[in-house]
Amino acid sequence: MRPHKEGYISLRQIFVPLVAEDPSEASFAETVFGDVGYWLRVREQKEVSNWLPEWREEAEVIRKSNAFKAVIQEVKEEGKNSFAAAKYLIEEPWKGRSKKVVEQKRKTSEKAAASTVSQEDKALMQEYLQ
């Protein structure tokens, strides 16, 4: 941790990485204050509560980024959950569900599938579907 102003340590620099790993904020509270109850009182103070939404959002972005990295790694390594992970990435459930978005996802998925399925496999699928 680098010193903040005049030798002080930035609370945000401690908060964000710890809360990215533990959204309950308990790890942060124990690490910094040694007591969750004390943190519950501190976070209500105006000086802290004004900044908390921004810090929490930053921690959430980091947490989601780490989760995406794990999902992508599962796909790359072709682990036992790689199909589900790939499906999750293709469907993009974290994005909106407007008709336009759904249609666009369907089209890009069809194009991707068409480019990866051999003519032989397509013929086999046609036989099976008939």
Model-wide pTM > 0.85: no
**Do the beta carbons of residue 85 and residue 74 sit within 8 Å?**
yes
Tens-binned pLDDT, residue by residue, of the chain (130 aa):
455 567 788 899 999 999 999 999 999 999 999 999 999 999 999 989 999 999 999 999 999 888 888 888 888 888 888 888 888 777 777 776 667 766 776 676 666 666 666 677 667 666 666 6
Instruction: Mark whether 70 and 19 lie in a shared domain.
Output: yes
How many structural domains are present in the chain?
Answer: 2
Instruction: Mark whether 81 and 126 lie in a shared domain.
Output: no
Q: Where are the alpha helices (DSSP H) in the chain?
A: 11-21, 26-32, 36-42, 46-49, 52-77, 82-91, 99-116, 119-129
Instruction: Mark whether 6 and 61 lie in a shared domain.
Output: yes
Instruction: Mark whether 53 and 76 lie in a shared domain.
Output: yes
Instruction: Mark whether 119 and 57 lie in a shared domain.
Output: no
Instruction: Mark whether 41 and 68 lie in a shared domain.
Output: yes
Instruction: Mark whether 84 and 117 lie in a shared domain.
Output: no
Instruction: Mark whether 16 and 48 lie in a shared domain.
Output: yes
Instruction: Mark whether 18 and 70 lie in a shared domain.
Output: yes
List the domain range (segments joined by +) for residue 35: 1-91
Instruction: Mark whether 34 and 56 lie in a shared domain.
Output: yes
**Do the beta carbons of residue 51 and residue 37 sit within 8 Å?**
no
